[in-house]
Chains A and B, each alone.
Chain A
């Protein structure tokens, strides 16, 4: 049983790493400006910032209203959430645009 667990673990670990570096390799030349859409499913591209805000920001804590922060503060907070809460670049970008338009 324990052996199987270990194999499973290494298999998963190997899987993650490969995935991460494939990602890295395919995206290294893409700028951070949100044009990075390769590999993103169509339904995600079509989501609006307000939609992502409504469905994603509530998963861990209560949703912050756009009025909470200024534009600059939202930039820092959403970069923080992108990293900490594992949002994709595109999600963070879209939510940031929505926050800036509605605060």
Chain B
């Protein structure tokens, strides 16, 4: 009910603004041949990985991005992903949305959007941007954090006094909860990529980024997302989730270090209302009750030398990333994991690189049964990835 109200008033405001804007729009660009406002861009990558278990040319991906500027105010972006893995081609729409500029620094985005919860998915996940061949823990298409969703968003940037800030506020179909019927061992887990909207509640979220320094080298972001997870008319209908995150970016040439330092990171907290879940497994009903709080984080440091005359050295980049994931105790998906990834990249141009990385992962927990000690697993993997943006 409350949500309906929010959404209808939001649409009214947007319509009013569109109306206001319409009066001053006469700037549709005239796409002459060779002057088209359409751009086909994108990237491609392939990864080789090797550890004790397997050594394989993992997957290859081709990811075209379509950009079209219809006028000064209307813009479209869409990204497809074709992935070839295990002999099969998988196709996905990563995002497909348009932007309408309501005012110079206020833009409406609608469609399937990358959810601006922190910085990783919205900004860093394309392989020509991500400094390492892997994602931090908790991120990914089946992770605990939002990736892309259907919805609308207002975003932009402006100044508060002397300080630049950027903002986004959105409402989307939102995540759902695993009730145990689909995947018993994931009962109580938040699921972001649900193909169906399971309730009338929409998730609401936002991010505010501030730039305390005048040269924009530092940005600190605060994100929050609130949603109801349960299926319509189910016992779990009223389970709510509240997620929040802090992210930071510091990128700057530091002459005393002779290079560009790139610090990025994000802390995420995922809090889901307490609930007792009953799951039928092999006709036995198991009851799970746990405090449903998880957290994940990553801390990344990159260094790119700029000293000396050797172009070879200047094309190198050293990267380290530490990442953690903690899920609820007593949940069947309980885990305490950490990951350290060290990488060396060679940049052929600004969007083309060969990346070498060594990842050390320690996973404790997982799906331990009653009375069993949680397993501890150490996995060390070597990665080689090439990525090319076009």
Contact = CB atoms under 8 A, between A and B. Distances in A.
Contacts of B322: none
Interface in A1-56: 2, 5-6, 8-9, 12-13, 16-17, 19-21, 23-24, 27-32, 36, 39-41, 43-44, 55-56
A56 B216 contact: yes
B103 A24 contact: yes
B159 A44 contact: yes
A55 B215 contact: yes
A7 to B, nearest CB: 11
Nearest to A52: B216
A87 B106 contact: no
A31 B72 CA distance: 11
B206 A21 contact: no
A88 to B, nearest CB: 5
Nearest to A87: B157
Given A28-B21, A55-B216, A56-B216, A19 B105 contact: no
Given A79-B69, A85-B123, A62 B350 contact: yes
B176 interface: no
Contacts of B347: 62
A88 B129 contact: no
A88 B216 contact: no
A80 B39 CA distance: 10
A76 interface: yes
B344 to A, nearest CB: 16
B226 interface: yes
19 contacts: A5-B271, A13-B169, A16-B206, A20-B156, A21-B13, A27-B104, A28-B17, A28-B20, A28-B103, A32-B73, A39-B159, A59-B216, A62-B351, A68-B350, A76-B68, A80-B77, A83-B77, A83-B109, A86-B168
Interface of B: 13, 17, 20-21, 24, 27, 35-39, 67-69, 72-73, 75, 77, 99, 101-107, 109, 123-124, 128-129, 154-162, 164, 166-169, 204, 206, 208-209, 214-217, 219, 222, 224, 226, 242, 244, 249, 251, 260, 271, 347, 350-351
